Amino acid sequence: MTLMQQEPGQSFVVENRIWDQAEALPRSQIADLQLARLRETAARAANVPFYKKIFEKEGLSPDSIQSLDDLQRLPFTTKSDLREHYPLGFLAVPREKIARIHGSTGTTGKPTFVAYTSEDLKTWAELCARFLTSGGLRPEHLVQISFGYGLFTGGFGLHYGVERVGASVVPASGGNTERQISLMLDLKSDVLVSTPSYALYLGEVANQKGIGPEELPLQFAHFGGEPWTEDMRSAIEKQMGIHAFNNYGLSEVIGPGVSGECALRDGMHIQEDHFIVECLDPDTLEPVGDGERGELVITSLTKQAMPIIRYRTRDIASLNPAPCPCGRTTIRMSRVVGRSDDMLIIRGVNVFPSQIEQALLRVEGAAPHYQIEVSRPKALDEVTVRVEMRPEVFSDMMSKMHSLRERIAREIQIVANIRVNVELVDPHTLERFQGKAKRVIDNRKKE
């Protein structure tokens, strides 16, 4: 198939290629495979004391799964279930079968660990190879991986995926931004792998050193690990002169490799032969309709060391089952608008930080660097959005600054339906991030 994606003014062309025909199976075959694998997963999960106890209590067994609808009879798993069985209480295989352990630090409490058998590691590399290929990676490319190599699944996960495709890796790891830029220039990296917020910072530092998009050798990038918006994609693409793809995953489920964009970049294809993704109303836990937002709940179908059933991700997104012109038959998920636990409730209105990002990036003169501070000085919530000005609009004319502030506040009101205070700050003064961005300070928790 010769489907291509080319934006006006860009020389990079993404040719549509499929790594594994499993991505393009007829829907009925996907369903058959999912059912068989769901039963295998239930059998493996019966070795995990947490699931065994529930299965016994509810009279569940692999044989009681007769159709995919029976998934709804299986229990949910939450982050606190994993924490309560710290460190490795969810293992379904003897410890000597474990080939590697990763973990997520989380923002509160103990980390959670996730384990892989050598078979799991092979599967993981294949899954990453799939989305990397769908987003343009070919054996001739040189990929700079600027995710931390460590417990975080981003570094090693993508590393083995790139190698599986046959491309070359520069395992730059996170941080040391000046060195990242020299590596990129000296080795002529074609592809960047990082969080979108780190890419934004890298691009900014390069630009400050007089290295513009034309001088950067990068052609395209695979970003993931945190929520970001279409407007942020445009800002980073412009700053670095690249074409950026989105990919999604979480350590509890495998790491990166759950889903990723194809050349058309209209939603992330879910690797449905390895995961069942449900989209549920977070309050009622009933399925929402196609295209409606809900919480993603994920069941692994092939993981051996730590099979996971109906994991409540807290990520809010929607599902699109419509066929994609790229030829893949898998369901696509939208961007993650945010995590339900990051959703701010401001005077009763639900707001995701990504809505504020979307609004302010639409205002010319506002830089894509911002911080949201929420407080409750008296009885009412107050939100202050600090936004950096672009150096070119920085002005000592009060009236100009005032109208920029007003435009940002108005745009936020339109998109997020809340009135906020906007503080314009000098260029390059807000914190930059080398991994996942932390843009919200909620003082109400302390007050």
Site for ligand DLL, rule CB under 6 A: 104, 147, 152-154, 224-227, 246-251, 255-256, 313, 315, 336, 339
d(CA 131, CA 411) in angstroms, rounded, equals 34
Is the CB of residue 384 less than 8 Å from the CB of residue 360?
A: no
- Residue 199 Cβ, how far from ligand DLL at the closest point, in Å? 12
CA nearest neighbour of 311 among 6, 21, 41, 62: 41
- Residue 224 Cβ, how far from ligand DLL at the closest point, in Å? 3
Among residues 51 and 124, whose Cβ is nearest to ligand DLL? 124
Among residues 394 and 433, whose Cβ is nearest to ligand DLL? 433
Among residues 163 and 382, whose Cβ is nearest to ligand DLL? 163
- Residue 114 Cβ, how far from ligand DLL at the closest point, in Å? 8
Among residues 65 and 200, whose Cβ is nearest to ligand DLL? 200
Among residues 313 and 434, whose Cβ is nearest to ligand DLL? 313
Is the CB of residue 294 less than 8 Å from the CB of residue 315?
A: no
Pairing of strands 142-145, 191-194: parallel
- Residue 260 Cβ, how far from ligand DLL at the closest point, in Å? 8
- Residue 404 Cβ, how far from ligand DLL at the closest point, in Å? 29
The one-letter amino acid code at 260 reads G
Among residues 60 and 253, whose Cβ is nearest to ligand DLL? 253
Chain residue whose CB lies nearest ligand DLL: 224
CA nearest neighbour of 421 among 413, 431, 432: 413
Beta-carbon contacts of residue 331 (< 8 Å; ≥ 6 apart): 269, 270, 272, 277, 319, 320, 321
- Residue 252 Cβ, how far from ligand DLL at the closest point, in Å? 6
Beta-carbon contacts of residue 134 (< 8 Å; ≥ 6 apart): 16, 17, 18, 19, 23, 260, 261, 262, 263, 269, 326, 328
Q: Which tokens in the block code for residue 8?
A: 């006006």
